[in-house]
Amino acid sequence: MPAAAREAAAAALLLVWRAWVTPVAGLWHDWFAILCAFWIFTAFGWRTRAWPVVAGATMTGLLVLYGVRALDLGR
């Protein structure tokens, strides 16, 4: 099994576990699930031209998510 496939499988297993312990409807704003999805993408797509855009969008999304939770704007 190639290293990229092993990495993606590990991230996918963690994502499945997170979906098991967290309501599925809330996974889109769960930082752990977002990082697992990003890990799966980077395992296969780190050589693509889209990688810097996806990395920037992921980090920006995590920053916004943190800001909303830190400022308690998501009431």
pLDDT for the residue 24: 85
The answer to whether residue 21 sits within a structural domain is yes
Please give the model's pTM, rounded to 2 decimal places.
Answer: 0.83
Side chain identity, residue 30: D
Helices (H) and strands (E) in the chain, counts: 3, 0
Split into its structural domains, the chain has a count of 1
Q: Which two tokens stand for residue 65?
A: 């998510």
Instruction: State the Cα–Cα distance between residues 38 and 43, nearest whole angstrom.
Output: 9
Please enumerate in sequence order all residues whose Cβ is within 8 A of that of 63, keeping only pairs 6 or more positions apart, or say none: none
In this prediction, residue 61 has a pLDDT band, given cuts at 50, 70 and 90, of very high
The answer to whether residue 56 sits within a structural domain is yes
For residue 4, give the nearest of 61, 36, 45, 38 by alpha carbon: 45
Q: Please determine, for residue 28, whether its predicted confidence score (pLDDT) is greater than 90.
A: no
Residue ranges making up the domain that contains 59: 3-70
